[in-house]
C-alpha cells in the first residue's frame, strides 16, 4: 500500500517553535522529529516498505521490525484523522 | 505594564478585511457601529501584515469580515499568506460568489473555505439573512469541493433554528463538508442587543446537543461535527480566545490589532494599529496585549481558582458588557457575583422569535 498526504494536511517546518507541524482546518499537530522523518518520505509513490527501508538505512542502530511497527502505527493514526490516504500501487 | 509575562508566538491571525456585508443576520457579533470605523486597510497593507504574521510564527490565517468576497484583492492577500507558509482559511457567506471566483481562490492557494448557512430550511434562512441567499450558498459549497478545497459549514444556533439541528447536520453532510461548526450564539454586538429573540429554552439546547452528539459518533471519519456549548447555559465561561494575547491575534478592517475580535468595545484602551507598529512589536510589547495576559491581572474569585489557567477568567468583552468592568470575572461563571444577570435572562419567558437584523448604531455614535 502507498500512503499519500491528503490535501487537507500541510506539513512544514515551524521556525518560530523549532519543530515540524502538520496544519489542517482549525488545527495544528506538533510533530516529533521521528514523526516528521516518516511524513517527509510520503510522496504518493513510495510504499510503506520503501519508507521503512529508507529509515532503516539511516538508522542502522534500530531494529527494522521496530521501525516497521512505529511507521505503520503512525500512518494508521494519521489516516484515521483523514491526513493520510491509502492507495494501491 | 511591564514585560512580566513572556508570551509565546501567536498561532492564528484573524484578518477581518471589511465590516461590510450584504447579509443582515441578527446574531452578528461585529460592532453595531461598524459603519463608523475608519478607512479599510488597502491590499498592500494587508499583504505586509500577512508577511509579518508568518515571520512572527502565525500558522493559520483566517480571512473574514463582514464578507471578505467584497474585497477584490482577497485572492492577492490569500496568495501572500500561502507564500508565507500559512494555512489559509476563508470565512464567507458565499453571497455573490461565482465559479470563477471560487476557482481563483483555489488557485491563490486557499486551503479551506467556511461557508455559513442560517438554517436547513431555506425560506427561514433567507428571512434571517435578510436576502435571498440560501440556495446559492448550497451551490457555492459544492463549488468549493469541486475546486478541491476543504469545506466547512458554519451555522450559528439560536432559538429560531435549534429545532432543525438534525436537518442542518444532514444538509452539511450532503454537501460534502468535512467539518460542520455548530456554534451557539455568543451575545456580542447585535446578538447582545437582540438577545431576547435569540435565547433558546434549555430543553431546546439539550435536544440539539443530543442530536449533535449522536452525529459526532455516526459521522466519525466522514465529517467532524463541532458543537460549541453556549456559555450562558453552562454556568462556566468559555476560555475566551484560549487566553488573552496567548494564541490569537485579530486585525479589524481599519488596521487596529486586537487580542479578540470584540475587544474594540472596551473602554480605556488605545489599541495599536498595524499602520504604526509591526505585528511583532504589538504582540510582544503592546500594552493592551499585555494587560490581561496570563493570570496576574485577576481579582477574586478568579485569582485563587483552580480553573484560572483553564478558562482564563472567561471573556473580557462579556465581563465589560454585563458588569461595566472588563477585569471582572465573566458573569457566565457561576462564581461571579453577577451571575444572576445571566440566570435571569436565560430563564426568562420565550415567545415566538421575531426576525431581527444586524443593528446599525453608527449615527448614534457620532
Ligand atoms: S472563577 Fe474565574 S477562573 Fe474560576 S471558573 Fe470562574 S471564571 Fe474561571
Ligand atoms: S474577549 Fe470577549 S468578545 Fe472578545 S473574544 Fe473574548 S469572548 Fe469574545
Reported as a single tens digit per residue, the pLDDT across B108-164 is 999 999 999 999 999 999 988 998 999 999 999 999 999 999 999 999 999 999 999
Give the number of whichever ligand sits closest to the CA of residue B315: 2
Structural domain count, chain A: 1
Tens digit of each residue's pLDDT (9 = 90 or more) over B327-344: 999 889 999 999 988 888
Q: Is the pTM of this model over 0.95?
A: no
Provide the β-strand partners of residue B224: B179
B221–chain A Cβ distance below 8 A for any pair: yes
Look at residue A89 and tell me whether its pLDDT is greater than 90.
no
Look at residue B364 and tell me whether its pLDDT is greater than 70.
no
Report whether residue B302 contacts ligand 1, using a CB cutoff of 6 Å. Answer: yes
A87 domain-assigned:
no
> Which chain B residues contact residue A23 at CB under 8 A?
59-60, 87, 111
State the pLDDT confidence band at B4, using cuts at 50, 70 and 90. very low
pLDDT number for residue B50: 98
State the pLDDT confidence band at B3, using cuts at 50, 70 and 90. very low
A22 domain-assigned:
yes
From the CA atom positions of chain B, what is the Rg in Å?
A: 20
Contact A16 B179 (CB under 8 A): no
A75 domain-assigned:
yes
pLDDT number for residue B365: 41
CB pairs under 8 A between A and B: 41
Look at residue B359 and tell me whether its pLDDT is greater than 70.
no
pLDDT number for residue B360: 67
Q: Could you give the CA distance from residue B17 to residue B77 in angstroms, rounded to a whole number?
A: 10
Q: Name the closest residue on chain B to residue A6, using Cα atoms.
A: B150
Q: Could you give the CA distance from residue A56 to residue B236 in angstroms, rounded to a whole number?
A: 51
Contact A14 B57 (CB under 8 A): yes
At which residue does the C-alpha cell 459549497 appear? B141
> Which chain A residues contact residue B89 at CB under 8 A?
25-26
> Which chain A residues contact residue B112 at CB under 8 A?
8, 25
Measured CA distances, B44 to B37, B306, B312 (Å): 19, 45, 36
Nearest to A30 by CA among B294, B180, B57, B307: B57
A33 domain-assigned:
yes
Distance from CA of A59 to the nearest CA of B (A): 30
A89 domain-assigned:
no
Mutate to test the interface with B, among A16, A17, A78, A83 (most CBs of B within 10 A): A16
State the pLDDT confidence band at B78, using cuts at 50, 70 and 90. very high
Q: Could you give the CA distance from residue B306 to residue B311 in angstroms, rounded to a whole number?
A: 10
B152–chain A Cβ distance below 8 A for any pair: yes
A52 domain-assigned:
yes
CA of B216 to the centre of ligand 1 (A): 29
Provide the domain limits for residue A62: 2-82
Tens digit of each residue's pLDDT (9 = 90 or more) over B227-262: 988 888 888 888 888 899 999 999 999 999 999 888
A21 domain-assigned:
yes
Tens digit of each residue's pLDDT (9 = 90 or more) over A3-17: 999 988 999 999 999
> Which chain B residues contact residue A9 at CB under 8 A?
none
Nearest to A9 by CA among A27, A22, A26, A21: A22
Task: Using a pLDDT cut of 90, give the percent of chain B over it.
Answer: 62
Measured CA distances, B40 to B20, B54, B233, B252, B265 (Å): 10, 21, 37, 9, 18
The CATH number assigned to the domain holding A26 equals: 1.10.10.1150
Mean pLDDT, chain B, whole residue set: 90
A20 domain-assigned:
yes
ipTM above 0.85, yes or no: yes
State the pLDDT confidence band at B264, using cuts at 50, 70 and 90. confident
Contact B59 A25 (CB under 8 A): no
Mean pLDDT along residues B310-330: 90
Amino acid at each position: 500500500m502507498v500512503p499519500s498526504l491528503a490535501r487537507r494536511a500541510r506539513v512544514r517546518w515551524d521556525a518560530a517553535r523549532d519543530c515540524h507541524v502538520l496544519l489542517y482546518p482549525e488545527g495544528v499537530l506538533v510533530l516529533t522529529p521521528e514523526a516528521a522523518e516518516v511524513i517527509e518520505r510520503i510522496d504518493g509513490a513510495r510504499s510503506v516498505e520503501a519508507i521503512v527501508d529508507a529509515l532503516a538505512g539511516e538508522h542502522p542502530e534500530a531494529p527494522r521490525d521496530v521501525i516497521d511497527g512505529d511507521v505503520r502505527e503512525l500512518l494508521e493514526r494519521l489516516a484515521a484523522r483523514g491526513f493520510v490516504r491509502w492507495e494501491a500501487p | 505594564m511591564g514585560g512580566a509575562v513572556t508570551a509565546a508566538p501567536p498561532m492564528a491571525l484573524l484578518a477581518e478585511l471589511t465590516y461590510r456585508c450584504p447579509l443582515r443576520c441578527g446574531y452578528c457579533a461585529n460592532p453595531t457601529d461598524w459603519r463608523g470605523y475608519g478607512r479599510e486597510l488597502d491590499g498592500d497593507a494587508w499583504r505586509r501584515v500577512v508577511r509579518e504574521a508568518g515571520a512572527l510564527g502565525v500558522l493559520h490565517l483566517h480571512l473574514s469580515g463582514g464578507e471578505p468576497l467584497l474585497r477584490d484583492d482577497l485572492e492577492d492577500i490569500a496568495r501572500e499568506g500561502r507564500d508565507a507558509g500559512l494555512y489559509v482559511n476563508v470565512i464567507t457567506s458565499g453571497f455573490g460568489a461565482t465559479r470563477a471566483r471560487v476557482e481563483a481562490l483555489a488557485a491563490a492557494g486557499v486551503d479551506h473555505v467556511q461557508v455559513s448557512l442560517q438554517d436547513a430550511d431555506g425560506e427561514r434562512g433567507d428571512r434571517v439573512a435578510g436576502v435571498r441567499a440560501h440556495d446559492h450558498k448550497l451551490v457555492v459549497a459544492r463549488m468549493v469541493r469541486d475546486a478541491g478545497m476543504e469545506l466547512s459549514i458554519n451555522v450559528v444556533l439560536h432559538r429560531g433554528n435549534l429545532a432543525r439541528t438534525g436537518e442542518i447536520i444532514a444538509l452539511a453532510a450532503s454537501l460534502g463538508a468535512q467539518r460542520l461548526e455548530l456554534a451557539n450564539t455568543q451575545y456580542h454586538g447585535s446578538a447582545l442587543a437582540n438577545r431576547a429573540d435569540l435565547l433558546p429554552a434549555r430543553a431546546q439546547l439539550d435536544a440539539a446537543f443530543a442530536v449533535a452528539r449522536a452525529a459526532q459518533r455516526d459521522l466519525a471519519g466522514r465529517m467532524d461535527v463541532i458543537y460549541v456549548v453556549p456559555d450562558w447555559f453552562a454556568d462556566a465561561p468559555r476560555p475566551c480566545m484560549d487566553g488573552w494575547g496567548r494564541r490569537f491575534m485579530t486585525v479589524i478592517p481599519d488596521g487596529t490589532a486586537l487580542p479578540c475580535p470584540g475587544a474594540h468595545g472596551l473602554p480605556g484602551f488605545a489599541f495599536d494599529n498595524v499602520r504604526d507598529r509591526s505585528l511583532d512589536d504589538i504582540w510582544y510589547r503592546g500594552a493592551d496585549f499585555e494587560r490581561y495576559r496570563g493570570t496576574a491581572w485577576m481579582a477574586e474569585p478568579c485569582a485563587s481558582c483552580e480553573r484560572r489557567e483553564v478558562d482564563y477568567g472567561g471573556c473580557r468583552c462579556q465581563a465589560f458588557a454585563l458588569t461595566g468592568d472588563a477585569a471582572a470575572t465573566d458573569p457566565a461563571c457561576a462564581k461571579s457575583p453577577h451571575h444572576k444577570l445571566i440566570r435571569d435572562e436565560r430563564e426568562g419567558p420565550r415567545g415566538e422569535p421575531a426576525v431581527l437584523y444586524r443593528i446599525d448604531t453608527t449615527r448614534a455614535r457620532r
